[in-house]
Structure 1
Amino acid sequence: MHRRRTALVLTAAIAAAAPLLTACGNDAHPGAAAVVDGRRITVAQLEDRVDEVRAAQRAAVPDEQQYEQAIARTGGLTRDTLQSMVLDRVLHRAAQDAGVTVTRKEIQRMRAALEQQAGGAEGLETVWLQQYGIAPQRVDDNLRLQLEAQKLAEHLGTDTGQPAFWKALSKTSEELDIDLNPRYGTWDVEKSSRADAKTPWVREVTGAAGAPLTA
């Protein structure tokens, strides 16, 4: 149960953080949704991730009205997905720097425990899709993220909800020189999280199921 709480707490923190704004620009990196340590996360890669979620939502709720409701509930999916993609790199680097590793067996063990609580693999995938906007094929990747976070926190002598944990991620964020495309907001180094830019006229458009998303 503690492991499940840790996983859900971190996932919720990733999805719901509301940090202060910092300046950023992306003019030097055309086609990039974000640049982390000189490596691009392309707009196409981001849209592919969003498309995976939209396809899973469509499969889960074939009724058109229910699908539209699911779209409405996840209007910030593109921004949340980009935040997760960037934070994944931050956390992975922080874990590497601390000598923390996660094995495939550990992921499988965690998944088995969560599936038991969720009533099976389909139940777990449904929870991750509905509550966290994570497509079924990305569940294992997310569990690796949760385990890295948990083990990093243990290495630091804290837990994922404490300032010491986020301070470590902040340090790594600064070292990675993260730059977001302004259409998706900015990256707050102190909070290690994405923030909305103060540009209400900007609209965020993706090819996900033909549905535009507003910034």
Structure 2
Amino acid sequence: MHRRRRTALLFTAAIVAAGPLLTACGSDAHPGAAAVVGGQRITVAQLEKRVSEVRTAQRSAVKDEAQYQQAVAQTGTLTRDTLHGMVLDEVLKRAARDADVTVTRKEIQQMRTGLEQQVGGSKALETAWLQQYGVAPERLDANLRLQLEAQKLARSLGTDTGKPPFWNALGKASKELKVDLNPRYGAWDVQKSSRVDAKTPWLREVTAPATRGTA
């Protein structure tokens, strides 16, 4: 199980890292955008759809309302974490392309089969990824592709995903893509290739405390 946790959390350090807020965009500049990556918008609607997929899967996976609310509480930063993953996916794709790194469908299936053997089957793997990492079942293969891209990119650089050369490659890709986040969701630290919370006291969540867990 330790191997599975390592695989799924390749980017944990980036998700939680604090750092300078190097780039952010306002809703006036990009109406309806949660982020702009390489000139392409990740819309708020697209982000909300991803979050809804997770919430729907969580609802299906538990037996009663109390369990569902507990699952929601445990993933209270789901919206921001989901956006981080969507942006990082594009950054990693760019870095992998720059390094001529590719991932095949066969490699994804081999990785999935190995993980399923570790945890006791396909359903068990989907449940584990949902509960521990907030990945909806329909996004599992895409998440595994992300992990494989990261591993292969690191190997191509003669390093691993915890070392500076790997993160320098992602930082270079972030700069090339000119990542912008809507301040509602924080800002993008180019050096760490990570979403960070914006230090903007005039911005606040408008979600009522009772429903904050669904953000």
Q: TM-score, normalization: structure 2?
A: 0.91
- Encode CA deviations 1:18-50: one digit per residue, 9 max, x unaligned: 433234223311000000010000000000000
Aligned equivalent of 2:116: 115
AA at the equivalent of 2:164: P
- CA drift of 1:2 comes to 8.9
- Distance (Å, rounded) in 2 between the aligned partners of 1:22 and 1:151: 28
**Residues 159-178 of structure 1 aligned to structure 2 (within 5 Å):** 159-178=160-179
- Distance (Å, rounded) in 2 between the aligned partners of 1:96 and 1:6: 24
Aligned equivalent of 2:36: 35
User: CA 1:12–1:123 in 2, change beyond 3 Å: closer, same or farther?
Assistant: farther
Aligned equivalent of 1:181: 182
Cα contact 1:179–1:186 (8 A) shared by 2: yes
**Residues 14-163 of structure 1 aligned to structure 2 (within 5 Å):** 15-26=15-26, 27-163=28-164
- Distance (Å, rounded) in 2 between the aligned partners of 1:60 and 1:12: 25
User: CA 1:116–1:192 in 2, change beyond 3 Å: closer, same or farther?
Assistant: same
- Distance (Å, rounded) in 2 between the aligned partners of 1:74 and 1:212: 10
Structure 2 unaligned runs (5+)?
Answer: none
Equivalent position SS for 1:40: strand
- CA drift of 1:164 comes to 1.1
Cα contact 1:18–1:195 (8 A) shared by 2: yes
Structure 1 unaligned runs (5+)?
Answer: none
Cα contact 1:153–1:165 (8 A) shared by 2: yes
- CA drift of 1:204 comes to 6.1
- Distance (Å, rounded) in 1 between the aligned partners of 2:72 and 2:80: 14
Cα contact 1:37–1:176 (8 A) shared by 2: yes
Deviating runs (4+, > 3 A) in structure 1?
A: 1-6, 11-20, 210-215
Cα contact 1:78–1:213 (8 A) shared by 2: no
User: CA 1:24–1:195 in 2, change beyond 3 Å: closer, same or farther?
Assistant: same
Equivalent position SS for 1:203: coil
Equivalent position SS for 2:20: coil
Cα contact 2:15–2:194 (8 A) shared by 1: no
Equivalent position SS for 1:199: coil
Q: CA RMSD in A?
A: 2.1
- Distance (Å, rounded) in 1 between the aligned partners of 2:135 and 2:89: 13
- CA drift of 1:120 comes to 0.4
AA at the equivalent of 1:163: P
Cα contact 2:188–2:194 (8 A) shared by 1: yes
AA at the equivalent of 1:65: A
- Distance (Å, rounded) in 1 between the aligned partners of 2:144 and 2:21: 29
- Distance (Å, rounded) in 1 between the aligned partners of 2:2 and 2:71: 30
AA at the equivalent of 1:20: P
AA at the equivalent of 2:198: A
Cα contact 1:184–1:204 (8 A) shared by 2: no
- CA drift of 1:203 comes to 1.0
Percent of counterpart pairs with the same letter?
68
